Amino acid sequence: SRLKIHRGEVKWILKQSFRNELPAALLNRPKQGFNVPIDQWLRGPLHRLLRDSLLSPQSKLVGIIDRRIVSQLIQAHQSCFSNHGPILWSLLVLSVWAQRYLTPP
């Protein structure tokens, strides 16, 4: 809407709201990304979900992925021998998506 973008400037209304509270250098700096600790999540709180989603015989990815290789990737990642976080995360997201959208109602 016109309040979010004004003459090509994004977050215009937000910047106007804080123009007297924050320095111009802060308000006008470029966007900055941030890292998400996916590698640690897959070794910790998401480890069980990862194994269950990808290695279960009921996985929607059976016949699509080689569970033996995925098991090796998970094991190497878990032991910190290798960082397979990005590929394991992609497979986990694919598996959760397949479970949600490829399962008959």
What is the rounded average pLDDT of the residues 47-53?
Answer: 97
| Chain segment 57-78, per-residue pLDDT in tens | 999 999 999 999 999 999 999 9
Q: Report the b/e string of 51-89 with b at 16+ CB within 10 A.
A: bebbbeeebbbeeeeebeebeebbeebbeeeeebbeebb
What is the rounded average pLDDT of the residues 26-42?
Answer: 90
Q: Does residue 39 carry a pLDDT above 80?
A: yes
What is the rounded average pLDDT of the residues 24-38?
Answer: 89
Q: Does residue 50 carry a pLDDT above 80?
A: yes
